[in-house]
């Protein structure tokens, strides 16, 4: 639907020149902040959106705006086709079947969908098929100490509702997961194992195969937070063999307000719904209701139609670039970041050292300077980074800090962007006379 072409030929190897060319598709990157060229290094929070994606959402409203799965008129049919074609596009991108992808508002809602459905099953809803999800006192839910709050608090709530016990896999001194401890923590009592694919703070990459094998060994459900992996590397949920996975559109060149839950088809078919109301039912009386098959069962009410169309356009953009190219370039940026940070006196790199596997993100602790002050000083130079605990308070507590400063790159960033960040970061302690 987009009238805008691509800046590069398909599957072009990314380097500084190619990244600069891609940046032309993102008008916001040509702006100035505080009198300086914007250097955007906060894609771990929210990525920027290219013209191709903006055009796709605008074209939907211009040409096909209507409710889906309801009307029989032409616009309604066109809107429904775009909505379901978007599902097919995004599902294929993450290695899933169409009926295994549920639209949500974001990854947080997707993870809550799982926990609320399990809570409903634990309360006796969903019939015989849903009993496999029921939790009770004595059961255990295992997460990790590096989780984003979105993959922590919903499990805390589920444990409180059902009487199950929440346990977690601790971190090694370098911030990586203690896999030896995991083998002892994941036991026959474990019913759910939930973990992130890539840490949003540390950039560390989880050994998904190992944790899934541990879950399979004890018959536990494996739930993956894929927010920091789906936008940045090739991901195939079938190959990973996770039972559920969540990701968000706004971290992968798409709009806000759209995310997705992946679930194995047989599991979604057995799960009781989370939100209920219109569009997800087959028959309703004054005393009971029957629900549609997945994924529609989990999509109550008016859906995020234009956002799904835009997310599909974002996926096509990433496919045009090539996810292997995306991953390779971000690894280069991540190593450049990590190596540069390690050269700065008084600045501590959190997570894996330079040379170790890591994503294109680096969180740092500046001795004697609060992260908010670091962020404000860099913002004065037009450098946008993230400061705070990044929705991962337990992780920071485990590392002995209350907050950190995080730089995260994407396909439109260059090593020059990283160098600008490193140069200004090196001035921080002197500026504050530490």
Tell me the domain boundaries of the chain: 16-49+321-431, 59-319
Tens digit of each residue's pLDDT (9 = 90 or more) over 70-105:
888 999 999 999 999 999 999 999 999 999 999 999
Q: Which one is catalytic: 218, 391, 398, 401?
A: 391
pLDDT band at 175 (very low <50, low <70, confident <90, very high): confident
- Percentage of the chain beyond pLDDT 70 is 99
The 10s digit of each residue's pLDDT in 357-382 is 999 999 999 999 999 999 999 999 99
Whether residue 201 has pLDDT greater than 50 = yes
| 4, pLDDT greater than 70 | no
Is the Cβ–Cβ distance between 204 and 352 less than 8 Å?
yes
pLDDT at 2 over 50: no
Averaged pLDDT for residues 298-305: 96
pLDDT value at 183 more than 90: yes
pLDDT band of 174, cuts 50, 70, 90: confident
Among candidate residues 308, 112, 147, the one with its CA nearest the CA of residue 225: 147
pLDDT bin (cut points 50, 70, 90) of residue 5 is confident
Q: Does the annotation mark 227 as catalytic?
A: no
Strands (E), 43-146: 101-104, 140-144
Q: Name the pLDDT band for 3 (thresholds 50, 70, 90).
A: very low
Antiparallel, parallel or unpaired: β 32-33 and 165-169: unpaired
pTM over 0.85: yes
The CATH topology of domain 59-319 is: 3.40.640
Quote the mean pLDDT of the chain.
97
Which helix H or strand E contains 248, and what residues bound it?
strand 244-248
Split at pLDDT 50, 70, 90, the class of 1 is: very low
> How far apart are the two ends of the chain, measured CA to CA in Å?
54
Provide the token pair at 346. 């008084």
Checking if the pLDDT of 129 tops 90, the result is: yes
Q: Does domain 16-49+321-431 have CATH number 3.90.1150.10?
A: yes
Average pLDDT over residues 313-340: 98
């Amino acid at each position: 639907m987009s009238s805008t072409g691509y800046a590069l030929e398909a599957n072009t190897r990314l380097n500084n020149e190619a990244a600069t060319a891609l940046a032309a598709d993102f008008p916001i990157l040509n702006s100035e902040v505080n009198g300086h060229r914007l250097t955007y290094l906060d894609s771990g929070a929210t990525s920027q959106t290219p013209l191709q994606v903006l055009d796709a959402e605008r074209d939907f409203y211009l040409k096909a705006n209507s409710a889906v799965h309801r009307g029989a008129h032409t616009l309604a049919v066109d809107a429904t086709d775009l909505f379901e074609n978007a599902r097919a596009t995004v599902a294929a991108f993450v290695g899933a079947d169409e009926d295994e992808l549920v639209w949500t508002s974001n990854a947080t809602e997707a993870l809550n969908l799982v926990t609320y459905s399990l809570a409903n099953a634990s309360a006796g809803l969903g019939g015989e098929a849903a009993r496999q999800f029921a939790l009770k006192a004595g059961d255990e839910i295992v997460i990790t100490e590096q989780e984003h709050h979105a993959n922590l608090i919903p499990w805390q709530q589920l444990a409180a509702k059902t009487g199950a016990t929440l346990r977690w896999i601790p971190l090694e001194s370098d911030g990586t997961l203690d896999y030896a401890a995991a083998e002892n923590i994941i036991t026959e009592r474990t019913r759910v194992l939930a973990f992130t694919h890539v840490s949003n703070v540390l950039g560390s990459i989880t050994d998904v195969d190992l944790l899934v094998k541990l879950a399979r060994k004890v018959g536990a459900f494996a739930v993956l937070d894929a927010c920091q992996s789906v936008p940045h590397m090739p991901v195939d949920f079938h190959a990973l063999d996770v039972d559920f996975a969540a990701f968000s559109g706004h971290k992968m060149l798409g709009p806000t307000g759209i995310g997705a839950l992946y679930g194995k088809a047989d599991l979604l078919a057995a799960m009781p719904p989370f939100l209920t109301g219109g569009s997800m039912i087959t028959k309703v009386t004054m005393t009971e209701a029957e629900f549609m098959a997945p994924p529609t069962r989990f999509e109550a009410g008016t859906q995020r139609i234009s956002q799904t169309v835009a997310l599909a356009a974002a996926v096509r953009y990433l496919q045009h670039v090539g996810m292997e190219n995306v991953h390779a370039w971000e690894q280069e940026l991540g190593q450049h970041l990590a190596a540069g940070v390690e050269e700065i006196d008084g600045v501590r790199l959190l997570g894996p050292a330079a040379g170790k596997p890591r994503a294109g993100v680096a969180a740092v602790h500046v001795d004697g300077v609060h992260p908010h002050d670091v962020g404000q000083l860099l913002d004065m130079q037009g450098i946008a980074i993230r400061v705070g605990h990044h929705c991962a308070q337990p992780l920071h507590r485990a590392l002995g800090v209350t907050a950190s400063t995080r730089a995260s790159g994407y396909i439109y960033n260059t090593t020059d962007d990283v160098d600008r960040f490193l140069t200004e970061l090196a001035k921080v302690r002197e500026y504050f006379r530490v």
